[in-house]
Amino acid sequence: MRWACLNEMIAMKTSPRTRFLMPAVLAVLVSSAAFSQTEPQSAPYVNNLMPQPASVSVAPGRFVLTTQFSAATTAFDNSRLDAAICRALLQLRRKTGLPFAGEPLPSGHSAQLSLAVQAAGEEIQSTDEDESYTLSVTSAGVRIDAPTVVGAMRGLQTLVQLVQPSGGEYVLPAVAIHDSPRFPWRGLMIDCGRHFEPMEVLKRTLDGMAAVKLNVFHWHLTEDQGFRIESKLFPQLTAMGSDGLFYTQQDAAEIVRYARALGIRVVPEFEMPGHATAWLVAHPELASGRAPNSIRREFGVSDFALDPTREETYQFIERFLGEMATIFPDPYVHIGGDETRSPEWKTDPRIRAFMREHQLQDSEALQSYFNQRVLKILIGLHKHMVGWDEILTPTLPGRRHSVVARPGFACERRDARLSGCTFRWVLPRRYEIRGRILPRRSPAVERGPIPTAGKTRAGRRDLHVWRTAQ
């Protein structure tokens, strides 16, 4: 047995929560136990695919799944593709109870499921990754064509969703599907800064994301309530700012690998200059004035902020982000940038003198100065800067480097001043602006934030995450 398949089977057999599935994807990943308790009933095909493909054509006929069902590649093949096929086969086995082979046949062999993949795709997945695929089902077999491995992953998830009971059998309806994503950025945010989540919860969430073809895990890692990522350059950040609840660099690398195997990017968020209590508990020398004595113990936003007037602040940030860039290969880094409420920016004589010297009229202008400095650091690290809508100012340079994650429509008041800008947008889960439905290949969508409660049972957490996924 191939190692990729063996690892998948071990994980499914040993994980204590592999049979717990999020309600919004229940129809996608139903356990074999649930099917074995009910006699399958014949029913006409109903298109319940999620998300809906770009094009679905239904023809007469069906393909009957049997214990002889097998899969093989006919063109490109690699370990990432083999692992994706293994996952799909195991999901099909659990869904039908049929004990067919849980690993693909050697490339080029005849099989009932053939996958014609042209290339590996991008080494570091980006918004330019080609995720398209075609899937055809006839009475003779199933074929998936895709330009990349990630495209094949999306086709395999559609295949798993297509299975339906018919009498005493499990079948695939005869269909021809042509699919490509409407949005190149389809994200889910988990706020681990406020509420630390165990690794198994994050992995289970990634599994659910893959089932519905989401492709960006927005990982919120720092907040007033906690600093959740290990820094070996600045170990006090977690020693004093996490209550011992944080992810080691090895943990983070494991999540990145796990996500990549599912065709999901990991975009980290490190809040600055506001939401910085956990930074400043460990490093009070970076504060704009007052420094906190402990991390915030309740929900909400504190008024502590990094000092944007000191060179030491940017030297610290440059070293920290440089370290994080070695862990998170994605081209994007989120800096937060929202709700900076430092009273010292309005009252401290030293900060006010700096603002006069640099012709910064108000706190918004001072934060724009900070954003420009951080943007320069990220460009040096070959990263694109992401921020919440408060980073939107006419003075922010290099707009092609800045993507604004838009939590709502409050920032439309800024649009008049920025009508000539070329920012790219990451939108909330509502796919419209000013009542207009977005066309295909519009900017992006993201479901979040998800402030899941650390003390809540895993099932309740999953329900909170997925209750609006449909």
Catalytic residues: 339
- Give start and end residues of each alpha helix (H) in 71-162: 79-96, 149-162
User: Strand, coil or helix: what is 260?
Assistant: helix
Which helix or strand (DSSP H or E) is residue 369 part of?
A: helix 363-380
Q: How far is Cα 389 from Cα 336, in angstroms, rounded to an integer? A: 9
Per the document, the length of the chain is 470
CB 218 within 8 A of CB 188: yes
DSSP 52: P
* 281 closest CA partner among 309, 264, 302: 302
Are the CB atoms for 197 and 255 separated by under 8 Å?
no
Rounded Cα–Cα distance for residues 275 and 463 (Å)? 27
Contacts of 338 (CB under 8 A, 6+ apart): 274, 275, 387, 388, 389, 390
* Preceding omega of 329 cis (within 30 degrees of 0): no
265 strand-pairing partners? 216
